[in-house]
Amino acid sequence: MTRADALTEKLALSMLARDGIAAIWQLHEAAADAYRNGYHRAADAVLQIAEAAEQAWLRAEGTRVLSI
């Protein structure tokens, strides 16, 4: 994992802790807005955070389901 990947995951986890699953939707909306406004690199960066958050959420859900 690169330093950028680690930072992306840390940010994603922080947002999930603060906002829950709504963070994923908000990140996707922010990425779409950035893309529409011509900020394609920013949109890509936000989308990477959204994907990291979604993966973290799915990992956590799998843990909860398996631990029941």
2-39 residue pLDDT tens: 998 899 999 999 999 999 999 999 999 999 999 999 99
Residue appearing with tokens 């994603």: 12
Residue 43 tokens, joined? 């949109």
pLDDT of residue 67: 44
Q: What is the mean pLDDT of residues 43-55?
A: 97
Neighbouring CB atoms inside 10 A of 41's CB total 9
